[in-house]
Structure 1
Amino acid sequence: SQDALTRIQPGIQLDEPSLLNAFDANREKICAAAARVYVRGGRGWYDLGPANF
């Protein structure tokens, strides 16, 4: 989520290019958080928020 990205990378601009750059720059952290959440449940989709970081 946008809130999760601003927690990972404080001070980023909230436009699409900046958010996509933040996602790309923090892909390893995001994948690690996703792996932790995925292990806990068997849903079809997951929304990573600030609490996951």
Structure 2
Amino acid sequence: MSRNVWTVIGVIVAVVIAWWLVDVLFHLAWMVARLSIVAVVAVIVFFVIRALVAKRD
């Protein structure tokens, strides 16, 4: 009986840890994707501003 209880507790702890790890990994992956998108948009905006300033000279 005691082994069954520890098995159930072990499964619950494993699921909680896995849930937390997946949440952290998805959060980090989303942050990297968002930073990549921001970098691409920043480069585009930089070149647009540079082109506008170059036309005025």
Query: TM-score higher than 0.5 here?
Result: no
Q: Which has the higher contact order (CA 8 A, sep 6+)?
A: 1
Provide TM-score, normalisation by structure 1: 0.32
With normalisation by structure 2, the TM-score equals 0.30
Which protein is bigger by CA-based radius of gyration?
Answer: 2
